Amino acid sequence: MSETIDHGKRHFLSIATAVTGIAGAGFAVVPFLSSLKPSARARALGAPVEVPLASLEPGEMIRVVWRGRLVFILRRTEEMLRRLAGVTEFLRDPDSLNEESQPNYAVNEHRSLNPEFLVVEGSCTHLGCAPLPQFEVTPSTDWYGGFFCPCHGSKFDLSGRVYKGVPAPTNLKVPPYSFTQSNVITIGIDSGTV
């Protein structure tokens, strides 16, 4: 019995085996690479948040969550805006000189694009507690309304500027935001304008 080697058949089998191995490796790599993509939840946490303002009355505040952070949006009344000038002598950084606390367009007395709307992160700059809104003026004190952190006594005015002599070192942070419509704020998209 003579054994003859069929080189054509052997070549075909070698190629078929290589192609099957490459396809199998491709099927094994696809799920691994897919696992490296951020989940839908992770993408949503970093996404901008649109907040309609039409139903927000003067003097009211709403809370939203952006990137896992609490954000306060306060629609200030004319009276609240008038109080801002009277409190500057009690503040640690009345001119908002700390550049890390807000975008450039919020370096002003009202710390906002539109004086009527304050947008700040609701996290005390001392230890990250959530300050409470206390907008009423307290007679015979230096309290003109603002935010009070009950954990350690930090106080912030109606622009989120920190008072002197409290544990919080800096003003409340202003997140990047823009007015995408006259009555809609988008938190997470920097307007880049004044």
- Catalytic residue numbers read 152
**Any idea which residue has 């990137």 for tokens?**
67
Residue 13 CA, chain-centre distance (Å), reads 59
Q: Is 47 left (phi over 0), alpha (psi -120 to 50) or beta?
A: beta
Look at the block and give the residue holding tokens 């307290």.
Answer: 138
SS3 for 163?
A: strand
Say how far apart CA 23 and CA 15 lie, in whole Å: 12
